[in-house]
Structure 1
Amino acid sequence: MNDITDPQAALNHIPADIHCAQDYERLVREHIDPRALAYIDGGSGTETTLRSNLDAFAGFSLRPRLLRDLSAGHTRLRLLGRTLLHPVMLAPVAFHRLAHPEGELASANGAAATDACMVCSTLSSFRLEDVAERAGAEKWFQLYFQPRREHTLDLVRRAERAGFTALVVTLDASIQAPSIRARRAGFVMPPAIQPVNLAAYPAPAQVRLDRDQSIIFQGMMSEAPTWADLTWLLAHTTLPVVVKGVLHPADAIELRSKGVAGLVVSNHGGRSLDGVPASLPALPEIRRAVGEDYPLMLDSGIRSGTDIFKALALGADAVMVGRLQLHALAVAGALGVAHLIRTLREELEVCMALAGCATLDDIGPEMIQEQKGAHHTC
């Protein structure tokens, strides 16, 4: 493809050889420019954490139970005081237009059609207000703190007016840059794709550094949020605030004590600090730290309904799907996103049925065991 955002790449039907959710990962190469795919799929550093996220799921096997009554089975759950029909959410991912010309609007349509909660990124390639109009009743807005508080507050007020029902504050990616994989592929963000939600906010003045100062600590990190910024945010919105990017139980305890409504156990899909643990094995310790009834979600590495089952067994209430949603979007637009969500839900239901779990509450740590897994596949 010559155009990195080729509008003819996506199909208007589901390919006949999509047999499981992970098949979208296999087929996406036929529907997206390889440079854009390198940006979407790449991880930071040597991609150790990216690989660990996938390998972690293969490290657990299932322990099914027999002769259980499943006639009233369902996948409903309560999250932040609201009822969701299933635990599959769309993670906040920047610049969906790299995968499809309708970008986040198509993703929102797919989420609405399948009763899924979409988390719209600050770095959406369409206005958050337009995404909110397409999304279903459950929609959250992912917030990056801006260098000036009045700009952060303006984003919050816009999200509130647009009808988003929660804020998701990402705190593990203060420094962001294209991965080595993307740079090797020659990826450059197309001029037509911009963070439109930030267009009205002037870029901050460039920090002037002395010779003995660090371009990282006194430069890039000079605008990174602190505990004081989070406390300020909690005081300036009535929406529940969820923090994304938690891996340490001490942080989880502190965040809960500050009034944060829930957490997303996440390593940013292996796109932030390389070498940190996979999200999945970090989950049980954080669940123990915050208690049984505190909302916990997980992202990073979900590729199947069985993966979702394992995440729920280790303490998650719901999961967020990141790269896989862009794969489905690139292959078949809104229809692909809807089909992906439905497929993941059905894969989860099959897993639950065969494991003897009628509801999500039945999926506990006794339903899995650690093992040395085989290659991750569907």
Structure 2
Amino acid sequence: MHRSAEPETAADFESAASALLPPEIWDFVAGGSGAETTLAANRAALDRVFLVPRVLQDVSSCSTRSTLLGRPVELPVAAAPVAYQRLFHPDGERATSRAAASAGIPFTVSTLSSVPIEQVVEAGGSVWFQLYWLRDDAATLDLVRRAEAAGCEAIVLTVDVPWMGRRLRDIRNRFALPAHVRAANIATTATAHERAGAASAVATHTSQEFASRLTWAALARLRAHTDLPVVIKGLLAPEDAERAVDHGVNAIVVSNHGGRQLDAAVAGADALPDIIEAVRGRCEVLLDSGIRSGTDVLRALALGASGVLLGRPLIWGLAVGGERGAIRVLRLLETELHDAMGLAGCENVAAARRLRTSRLPATHSARGGEPLPGPVQAGTSY
């Protein structure tokens, strides 16, 4: 039987990227912290979400268009911040940002980007700047001013990394950055290039640079320091979501850092409904961690999210084909989302957010061979 060589799913890109990248670099992007329990739970939680489709709906003009932070987007998706993308392709963040622009979605450039902010913005499209709070407050706020001057359209403050989680793959590999890859946005005397003892050089560098004393006062200071929309990334507790809204954030990203920080942290899709309830429509809520397909995007919308962040699949596309590979990943996501929305009877994103969901209990698996239970949340609609 003839099989197309062109990847048709994110999983195809994952397989191709794992074969192409050096093992220690593959482990850096693919791995999680600890026993990788939360890494696995992110996928399991999404796989437990089943949709209750509507019928006899006119989906002849089904549209995936939406808005994020008040700006139009072709998909309710933003590219997640991923550090050091020149590890995966020489063009790094330049390629992925151009791909995001081509797909009509925002690109989030990391503090730890291997390409300077200004060069990422020059690639075109809408760019958000992801901020890690550094030990030096003045340097942190200088980064914010630099992002504003470059033309970034939002500040995404990541709050779940007082230090890097124990990523055992990186520790066992004694992972260090190659000479041609560096944190292009920060001036530092620390280095992520030198192996020292039985540790990850990248984790050591992070611990030396990041502020472990980060508190709500920093969010208040950031909110007072910039007129750009402020997004807070890394929340899982509804109490924290309420407090973030009180601090005037424009959006919350429900995230466990892709299973790379606290192992055994709750899966993003499991935390999402409680945060939606706590926020009560006062700001946008996006889901990060585990998104692999357009169907996953629809699941997130049906659970109440405004949209999602897409991380690893975009990197797989970058590794396989540079800008073209990243564009292909995003085009597949668009095709899958359009297909899923139409088959679920959703003519637009607003209709997708009205879909009802049915959840399997965590003790069951959709692939485990057991009979599926009746709807757990069949009466729930967000």
Same fold flag (TM > 0.5): yes
Residue 223 of structure 2 corresponds to residue 234 of structure 1: yes
Amino acid at match of 2:99: G
Query: What is the aligned partner in structure 1 of residue 147 from structure 2?
Result: 159
Alignment partner of 1:57 out of 30, 46, 50 = 46
2:175 is aligned to 187
State the alpha-carbon separation in 2 of the partners of residues 293 and 77 from structure 1. 18
Mean alpha-carbon deviation: is it higher for 287-296 or for 31-40?
287-296
Distance 1:340 1:221 in 2: 32
Cα displacement string for residues 276-316 of structure 1 (whole angstroms, at most 9, x for unaligned residues): 11000100000000013520111100011111111111111
Counterpart of 2:58 in structure 1 is 69
Q: Which one of 260, 283, 297 corresponds to residue 271 of structure 1?
A: 260
- Tell me if 1:309 matches 2:298: yes
Q: Which amino acid aligns with 2:303?
A: L
Once residues 30 and 50 of structure 1 are traced to their aligned partners in structure 2, the CA distance between those partners, rounded to angstroms, is 21
Query: Structure 1, residues 63-115: CA drift from partner, whole Å, max 9, x if none?
Result: 11111011332112222221112112110000001110111011111111111
Contact 2:190 2:209 in 1 (8 A): no
| Cα separation, 2, equivalents of 1:44 and 1:92 | 18
Structure 1 residue 259 corresponds to structure 2 residue 248: yes
The SS at the match of 2:60 is coil
Q: Distance in 1 between matches of 2:71 and 2:210?
A: 36
Residue identity in the other structure for 1:190 = P
Deviation, 1:339, is 0.9
Q: Which amino acid aligns with 2:103?
A: T
- Secondary structure of the 1:196 match is coil
Aligned to 2:326: 337
1:131 aligns with 2:120: yes
Given that 1:88 and 1:341 are in contact with CA atoms closer than 8 Å, whether structure 2 keeps it comes out as no
Secondary structure, aligned partner of 2:331: helix
* Shift of residue 184, structure 1, vs aligned partner: 2.4
Aligned to 2:270, which of 260, 281, 286? 281
CA distance in 2, matches of 1:143, 1:221: 11
Q: What is the DSSP-based 3-state SS (H/G/I as helix, E as strand, rest coil) of the residue aligned with 2:67?
A: strand
Structure 1 match to 2:195: none
3-state secondary structure, aligned to 1:198: coil
Q: Does 1:173 align with 2:165?
A: no
Structure 2: how far apart are the matches of 1:364 and 1:234? Answer: 29
Q: Which runs of 5+ in 2 are unaligned?
A: 192-206, 369-382
2:138 pairs with 1:146: no
Report if aligned partners of 1:116, 1:341 keep a CA contact under 8 Å in 2. Answer: no
**Bigger Cα displacement from structure 2, 126-135 vs 239-248:** 126-135
* Post-superposition offset of 1:40: 0.7
Q: How many residues are paired up?
A: 348
Contact 1:297 1:317 in 2 (8 A): yes
Q: Distance in 1 between matches of 2:216 and 2:283?
A: 20
Aligned to 1:4: none
1:197 partnered with 2:185: yes
Which stretch of structure 1 is more off in the superposition, 18-27 or 243-252?
18-27
What's the offset of the Cα at 1:260? 1.0
Using the alignment, how far apart are the partners of 2:17 and 2:367 within structure 1?
20
Which whole-Å CA distance do the structure 1 matches of 2:132 and 2:278 have between them? 26
Q: Find out whether 1:295 has 2:284 as its counterpart.
A: yes
Bigger shift: 71-80 or 107-116? 71-80
Q: Structure 1: how far apart are the matches of 2:298 and 2:249?
A: 25
Aligned-partner Cα distance in 1 for 2:135–2:216:
15
- 2:249, 2:283 within 8 Å by CA — same for their partners in 1? no
Cα distance in 2, alignment partners of residues 337 and 178 from structure 1: 29
SS in 2 for 1:242: strand
1:96 and 2:88 aligned: no
Q: CA deviation at 1:367?
A: 3.0
Residues 238-253 of structure 1 aligned to structure 2 (within 5 Å): 238-253=227-242
Report deviation, 1:185.
3.6
Q: How many angstroms does 1:191 deviate by?
A: 2.4
More displaced stretch, 185-194 vs 112-121: 185-194
Q: Which amino acid aligns with 2:271?
A: A
> Normalising by the residue count of structure 2, what TM-score does the alignment of the two structures yield?
0.87
Instruction: Choose from 355, 363, 374 the match for 2:366.
Output: 374
3-state SS of the aligned residue for 2:273? Answer: helix
Does 1:360 find its partner at 2:349?
Answer: yes
Cα shift at 1:147: 1.3
Alignment partner, residue 214 of structure 1: none
Amino acid at match of 2:340: C
Question: For 1:110, what is the secondary structure of its paired residue?
Answer: helix
Mapped to 2, the partners of 1:203 and 1:261 lie a distance apart of 33
Q: CA RMSD in A?
A: 2.1
The alpha-carbon distance between structure 1 residues 222 and 140, as it changes in their structure 2 partners (threshold 3 A), is closer
Mapped to 1, the partners of 2:321 and 2:328 lie a distance apart of 9
- For residues 187 and 29 of structure 1, the distance between their equivalents in structure 2, rounded to whole angstroms, comes to 17
Contact kept, 8 Å, 1:141 with 1:164, in 2: the verdict is yes
How many angstroms does 1:179 deviate by? Answer: 1.3
Pick the aligned partner of 2:315 from 309, 318, 326: 326
Tell me the CA shift for residue 203 of structure 1. 5.7
Pick 1 or 2: higher relative contact order, CA cutoff 8 A, min separation 6.
Answer: 1
